[in-house]
A and B are shown apart, each in its own frame.
Chain A
């Protein structure tokens, strides 16, 4: 079972920041938070990951709470091409069984 909880769907206006929440209340100290997205049956696309510090790259920012029980993915200026299913995943560092367990994700609709 997935170890994360996400809202099933969200709307965001084009040009605004999209903030996607994720709960991972049972996360362990050696587990990383990863975000992927899947645009209409294409292969999942890596977005960003982090352990406990906030992270930013050219696609998004990841804000992890101090207790690490939740996080937020931020797309700073959403465009129509950001319409996708966004998956929040926890992965164990140095785990021999590196199978990513995908939950149902959040379906993000960007509204023109």
Chain B
């Protein structure tokens, strides 16, 4: 158990809909990272938040957005969903702003299926 929690574990929805994925970092961690893992793309970094502010951006679509709240939990919002958005979405956290001296610890993931 990494200490990172994600809800829900599974989500089934239809094309065109909007969903929100939630992540709670390990106690004391200030950074939250979001990753997407689909069958054909592997694990892809989406976005990082540090202490409420966006820190780094990866291959995140404009239909996707994220935020980190004062209590440090984070939400990833996916809108206008397409079939290709079906994937595993992982959240990770680290102690401060990141860098190679900090380990990122991953949550168990949310499996999204868009029908």
Contact of B109 among A42, A92, A94, A102 (CB under 8 A): A42
Q: Are B99 and A94 within 8 A (Cβ)? A: yes
B92-110 near A? 1/0 per residue, CB < 8 Å: 1010011111111111110
Q: How many A-B contacts are there with CB distance less than 8 Å?
A: 81
A6-40 near B? 1/0 per residue, CB < 8 Å: 00000000000000000000000011101010100
Q: Are B42 and A99 within 8 A (Cβ)? A: no
> For the complex, is A98 an interface residue (Cβ under 8 Å from B)?
yes
Question: Which secondary structure dominates chain B's binding surface?
Answer: strand
- Evaluate whether A43 and B100 lie within 8 angstroms (CB atoms) in the complex, with A99-B33, A99-B56 already known: no
> For the complex, is B88 an interface residue (Cβ under 8 Å from A)?
yes
Question: Which secondary structure dominates chain A's binding surface?
Answer: loop
Determine the chain B residues whose CB is within 8 A of the CB of A95 once the complex forms.
98-100
Measured CB to CB, the residues of B under 8 A from A are 2, 4, 31, 33, 35, 42-45, 48, 55-56, 58, 88, 90, 92, 94, 97-109, 111
